[in-house]
Structure 1
Amino acid sequence: MPDLTSEQIYVLVRGYFEQALGQSMELAYILPKDSLYDQAGEIGSLKKRMQELEALLAHRSWPASVQSEAHALLGTIIPEKLAPASERFQQLCQGILRADLENARILAAMLAGKFHEVAPQDPIFAGIVVNEPPPVPGDGTTAPAEQTLASVATLFHTYKAKHDWVPKTAADASRVLSIAKSIIGENKPFKTLGIEDVKAVRDAIASIPPNYVKLAANKGISPKEAIKANTDGHTLSLNTQDKYFTMFRQLLIWAHHEGYIDKIPGEGVKLAGSAKVDATGKRKPYSKEQLQAIFASPLYKGHKSETTRHKSGSELVRDGKYWVPLIAIFSGMRMGEIVQLLVSDIKTQDGVAYFDVSKSEGEDKTLKTQSSVRKVPVHKVLLDLGLLDHAHGSGRMFPDIKKGQDGYFSHNFSKWWGRYARQIKVSTKDTAFHSFRHSFKDALQSAEAPEYVSKALMGHAGNDVHAAYGSGPSLSLLKKIIDTVSYSFELPPL
């Protein structure tokens, strides 16, 4: 083992910290000038990162990314690698994590305007100056710092989360960007990204084990470590791989449009099996037999108890579990749109009762796209079954459906529906709750509904120029068309 001293490790760690801090100072200068900057979101992410780093330090756990950084730092002073179990290597890994923790704390303080808190608090970094302003533009004394993968990824995520993404998409993108930064390296200059980097991210996404990014047990485990430990070969589904790789490509495309990179690297790089995504990922409508089985099941004919819906009995609870599938098959609305309904979202205009699919500030609701905002008349079958009698009082339409751990009301209901479909033996690999929406679309086609009416009811944007003009089909026309939708299954008892 090379004869290294504690003093040499100390110098390496301080140098690493100073370099990382310089990049943070640049971010603290650039981000607040951006009109899309989300101060609370950025500071919140940094505090979460600090908690993760503290946990790693408490357990003396060195992720593969930290060990890789340690080997790189050591390579600047010794020709051979240290054994990971050696005391000096462990000391260096700990120092890197301490630097990352202190750097995150200082950046959070700068973004919050608390410059009295930016002096290093960790004794190992005492005396390092952190409040020097960035170079004055055009003074020519120093070249501007290069944009790194980490800094461009932050700008990209901030922009898209503010303008385009719902919170769930933003969370997925954050996971993807974390994988990319771990595989490529956070500090790699963005303009030097090439086809090999794109292939490396693609291969990592295709090799990482299922639920790696979600399981709490994997905290502190880098993607490289998880891939290496994935000896059973289980991977993310092809659709999830495609979604994640597409998100990474969105970063490259956005960065190209914003001028951070001259051309998009690896444009021809494809995910293995990507041609099968559409074929395997599309949900099919429920068949006539499946619909008959669903609406003749104990959920609608009588069940054992509120908690045992799949077994026949004398109970008939008309709560969210009862109504949500019925609303789906007779409106074509998405699960997420239905389960988040407020009582006030069922409105009446010119004698027509309708679902007001929309969201307002403070209502704790989300929509997939802007075109999702629409008015969907309440089908006559739902009126006959007494839906309006259920819609009384105030607050949420289905208070029995609780918000899931991901912050969405659809989380728990989706899991429940999956179990119930299996229990009544209608579950197949090609069908899910979303199949109700496909069945509704087929029913509209069978009723010969005009395409522009179908799009208006289902919340799909029109692709032609005419779609940008006018206010769309009238509510009375939508009501007339939707009431023609019918199915061959037997309806639940009134």
Structure 2
Amino acid sequence: MSDTEHLFQRGKNGTWYVRRAVPASLRKTGEPKLLMKSTGTSDRQEAKRRAHPILAEWEARFRAGAVAPLPRTPSDHDLEAAAVMVGYDGLREHEAGRRLAAASAGGERWQRYQRRTAINLSAAEDRGTIRSLADAAIDDLGIDLAPDSGGYAKLCEYLASARHAALDTSYRAAHGEIAPEPEGGIVTRVRERSAARAKPGETLLELFEKWAAEMLAKNALDGKRGKRADTINQDRKVVQQFVAFVGNERAVDSITPEEIADYRDVLRDLPPKWASHNALKRLNMRDAAVKARELDLPRVAFTTINKHLSTISPLYTWLRKHPRWAGMKNPVDGLHYDDVKGANPRPPFTTPVLNKILQSPLFAGFIADGDEHKAGNQHVDDWRKWIPLVCMFTGARIGEIAQLRVGDVRQEHGVWMIHIAHDDSAGQSTKSGHSRPAAVHSKLEAIGFLAFVERQRKRAGGDNAAQLFPELKPNNRGQIGAEPSRWWRDYLAAIGVKQGRDGIGAHSFRHELADRLRDEARLMDNEVAVCLGHSLKSTTGGYGQLRQGTVTMLKDWIEAVRWEGVDFEGLGNSV
């Protein structure tokens, strides 16, 4: 369906609106089935142009599995544009007609018109008139503003400025100035921004989608280049927020470093996930930032802001490779915060902490589901027990183990191994973008992991493609490891192992195994890297097609880790 087919006009000569049905799969009870937004113009051709980025943004949200949110308070740019449209353009057109009629009549009527322009100019900021204009603008343009909101007050302020500019130019025209123009101010700002509008197909969101398609295609080739779908979806949210800040019709080459710095500084005043905060979610970024400072809310981290800038910057780098934008300056250059990464500790579990975990209620017996941290007689035989243990013995990440299929645990060359798969078609992924083996340690086998896998195989009717942990479901980002990751952090806190943001978590198993591979297995760091699934980037590493580290070699290395001082007694009988 074309953009034109999404347009409809209210009234014979009224404003054009764009509409789009919400896909059936995304519809929810009580929520609108049809999205609708004003284009802010009664000109059909202009409406067609303005409809394109609106539809592109909605389509991007649908692809991300989300319905366009409730409209927020318009940005300052939106309010200024509305004020100029209603308070300047409309009034100038009206005054031009009156001036022409008076000039044609001449004599006393022309003199009365001249006096009237002076009177009108002196009353340019009449509050009653301004509020009437504001209400008309809200109604005609579909602006979402409450009468008692800060945005409404701003609209009135901008309307007063625009109306004064219109009446001033009318006064000057009536007193002999030929084709007077407004002297700076709001009208000039809006016109400059209008001149910087993107051509059809060249809005930031449209260009982002083209860049995203290329990144996904590159990732599909070998998994080394480009970006995965989930990463693209997260990038899209950043770009959508940035576009809402600078204007969704801006030409990419019109955005200045000053505006990027402004976006960075406003973002710094906001709390994390500000768009879902009850006090801020219907405000634009600027108003939300002001409100957040009034409420003394936590601030977005410098590292998060740098991530935003690092999402916007590659789009400009990509565009500069196209003749259309060759030589364009990247406005993000030099605006990242320096020296803000700081320490991000990922400490290993020490032997005493491992013993505290393994002797805790989850493994020794707990009182009830939901109270796994309280001692009792109930034992568990699902992901809550096995994912932490498999992470401990393999150094794998929670998400990599949570996604396992029954057939991923199998023998290869006589060695029991876990196939940690990267397979987009099966919804499995690894951070490196490559599949890898992990040898099953004899202690993990003794605890009963292989017996658990066989039980799961029988429950699945011998289906090797069945999930090893069928209770787990992907979140809205397609991440099956989200629930166990969150659950494990909460459990560690409940048993007194974790306190605040101390870096202790499932990744501590990975660091603990690295230390024991160095100490007990006497491996060099390049060998530790192979055990943990870090590909070695070297000239030799690029030769041939076999993966680095055979299963038998990995088995020998993993078995050399003796887990000295760790008490596994009782774990094998807890099923």
Task: Give TM class, smaller chain.
Answer: 0.7 to 0.9
The Cα shift of 1:403 comes to: 3.0
Q: 1:466 to 1:209 in 2, by over 3 A?
A: same
Alignment correspondent of 2:40: 13
Tell whether the 8 Å contact from 1:453 to 1:478 is kept in structure 2 after alignment.
no
Within 1, Cα distance between the matches of 2:483 and 2:534? Answer: 26
Query: 1:94 and 1:201 mapped to 2: Cα distance?
Result: 26
In percent, how many aligned pairs have the same letter? Answer: 21
Map of 1:481 onto structure 2: 557
For residues 138-184 of structure 1, the C-alpha deviation after alignment (integer angstroms, 9 at most, x for no partner) is xxxxx976833232222223333443333432222111101110122
The answer (yes or no) to whether the contact 2:204–2:252 under 8 Å persists in 1 is yes
> Are 1:306 and 2:369 matched, yes or no?
yes
Q: TM-score, normalised by structure 2?
A: 0.65
The one-letter amino acid paired with 1:255 is L
Q: Is the 8 A contact 1:9 1:88 kept in 2?
A: no
Q: 1:84 to 1:379 in 2, by over 3 A?
A: farther
Q: Helix, strand or coil for the counterpart of 2:426?
A: coil
**1:462 pairs with 2:524:** no
Within a 5 Å distance, the mapping from 1:98-137 to structure 2 comes to none
The residue correspondences of 1:196-235 to structure 2 (distance < 5 A) are 196-213=258-275, 220-230=282-292, 231=294, 232-235=296-299
* Alignment partners' CA distance in 1, 2:514 and 2:80: 52
1: CA distance between counterparts of 2:269 and 2:52? 35
Check conservation: 1:327, 1:338, Cα contact below 8 A: yes
Q: CA deviation at 1:362?
A: 4.3
Contact 2:137 2:143 in 1 (8 A): no
Root-mean-square deviation over aligned CA pairs: 3.6
Equivalent residue number for residue 82 of structure 2: 70
Which residue of the other structure, out of 217, 242, 247, is the alignment partner of 1:185?
247
The 1:425–1:238 alpha-carbon spacing in structure 2 relative to 1, beyond 3 Å, is farther
Q: What one-letter code is carried by the residue in structure 1 that aligns with 2:475?
A: G
* Cα deviation 1:343-365 (Å, max 9, x = unaligned): 11112111111111114354232
Q: Which moved more, 1:285-294 or 1:474-483?
A: 285-294
Query: How has the CA–CA distance of structure 1 residues 208 and 73 changed in structure 2, closer, same or farther, with 3 Å as cutoff?
Result: farther
Note if contact 2:399-2:481 (Cα within 8 Å) is conserved in structure 1. Answer: yes
Q: 2:505 aligns with which of 429, 432, 436?
A: 432
My pick for the range that moved more, 405-414 or 291-300, is 405-414
Q: 1:251 to 1:211 in 2, by over 3 A?
A: same
Correspondences of 1:368-383 after superposition (within 5 Å): 368-371=431-434, 373-383=435-445
* Structure 1 residues 250 and 295: alpha-carbon distance in aligned structure 2, compared to 1, 3 A threshold: farther
CA drift of 1:410 comes to 1.5
2:527 is aligned, of 443, 450, 453, to: 453
- 1:444 alignment counterpart: 517
User: What is the number of equivalent residue pairs in this alignment?
Assistant: 424
C-alpha separation between the residues in 2 aligned to 1:427 and 1:13? Answer: 54
Structure 2 residue matching 1:347: 3-state secondary structure = strand
CA 62–321 in structure 1, closer or farther in 2 if over 3 Å, else same: same
- Which of 211, 214, 226 aligns to 1:159? It is 214
Q: Whose relative contact order is higher, 1 or 2, with alpha carbons under 8 Å and at least 6 apart?
A: 1
Change (3 A) 1:423 1:46: closer
2:62 matched residue in structure 1: 44
2:139 corresponds to: 91
Shift in CA distance, 48/381, structure 1 to aligned 2, threshold 3 Å: closer
Matching residue within 398, 402, 412 for 2:469:
398
- Decide whether aligned partners of structure 1 residues 453 and 431 sit closer, same or farther in structure 2, where only a CA change above 3 A counts: same
Taking the aligned partners of 1:208 and 1:349, their CA distance within structure 2 comes to 52
Q: Rg: which structure is higher?
A: 2
Report how far residue 73 of structure 1 moved: 3.7
CA offset digits 1:164-207 (Å, max 9, x no partner): 33343222211110111012222211123321132123223322
Q: In the TM superposition, what is the alpha-carbon distance from 1:42 to its structure 2 partner?
A: 5.0
What runs of 5+ residues in structure 2 fail to find an aligned partner? 1-10, 17-38, 93-123, 146-197, 220-225, 458-462
| Other-structure match for 2:304 | 240
Q: Which AA in structure 1 matches 2:388? A: P
* Matches for 1:274-423 after TM superposition, within 5 Å: 274-277=338-341, 279-360=342-423, 362-371=425-434, 373-392=435-454, 393=457, 394=463, 395-423=466-494
Which one-letter code corresponds to 1:478 in the other structure?
A: L
Distance in structure 2 (CA, Å) of the matches to 1:321 and 1:146:
49
Task: Give the Cα separation in 1 of the matches to 2:85 and 2:508.
Answer: 54
Q: Is the counterpart of residue 267 in structure 1 residue 333 in structure 2?
A: yes
Give the partner amino acid of 2:379.
L
Structure 1 unaligned regions, length at least 5? 1-5, 32-39, 98-142
Question: Are the aligned partners of 1:295 and 1:492 in contact in 2 as well (CA < 8 Å)?
Answer: no
1:255 aligns with 2:310: no
